[in-house]
A and B are shown apart, each in its own frame.
Chain A
Amino acid sequence: GAVVSQHPSWVICKSGTSVKIECRSLDFQATTMFWYRQFPKQSLMLMATSNEGSKATYEQGVEKDKFLINHASLTLSTLTVTSAHPEDSSFYICSAMGRGGSYEQYFGPGTRLTVT
């Protein structure tokens, strides 16, 4: 159980375009979802925390107008990279936490974004 999917698994886009990444909890309801980015051989960096039905909380240094997060339902959160630039190329990973007492995050498989 506790499966999180991401779509797409990889995407290549041109500079200036926008890209949407979906994160879904397949077999549980996720009250909170997290978005991370990871550069090669580096740790995960938390970008934002989103709670269903409310605005996302962004980490310091993350532009909320550039990285739009929507958590419209208990099973879906989306990250839209607007006006993407080559420096936005990275591995984006989402995670979800279900209801209940466990503080375990269930991670998605990640999305490789390449901006040309």
Chain B
Amino acid sequence: LAKITQPISMDSYEGQEVNITCSHNNIATNDYITWYQQFPSQGPRFIIQGYKTKVTNEVASLFIPADRKSSTLSLPRVSLSDTAVYYCLVGILNRDDKIIFGKGTRLHILP
């Protein structure tokens, strides 16, 4: 099983770029890396998913080094509304495999 480690909390300021790194040392060959955002009392919201190298969408970028033992979620120019918990998820949706959520990183954006 991929053990996931991510920072417990981070603070940043509006307009800054925020990078959250997730470690997953024993990620399996078939595992994808997915990041979710969660606000209090809401279900997680998909942000981005990748397998290797770099993935970019309209809200974030995901950087995955060649060894895939870590990944970095990059949020450009954050705003107050980006204050949330961000989860790193490693796994493949297969009934024989486990889906592992990290403990989440509480991101607090300051004005």
Residues of A within 8 A of B (CB): 4, 6, 32, 34, 42-46, 49, 51, 57, 91, 93, 95, 97, 102-110, 112
CA distance A102 to B62 in the complex (A): 17
Q: Main secondary structure on chain A at its contact with chain B? A: strand
**Closest 5 A/B residue pairs (Cβ):** A107-B43, A107-B44, A43-B103, A110-B43, A103-B93
User: Would A57 and B104 count as touching, CB distance under 8 A?
Assistant: no
Residues of B within 8 A of A (CB): 32, 34, 36, 41-46, 49, 87, 89, 91-93, 95, 98-99, 101-104
Q: Main secondary structure on chain B at its contact with chain A? A: loop
Closest to A44 in B: B101
Closest to B100 in A: A46
User: Would B42 and A44 count as touching, CB distance under 8 A?
Assistant: no
> Residues of A contacting B41 with CB < 8 Å?
91, 110, 112
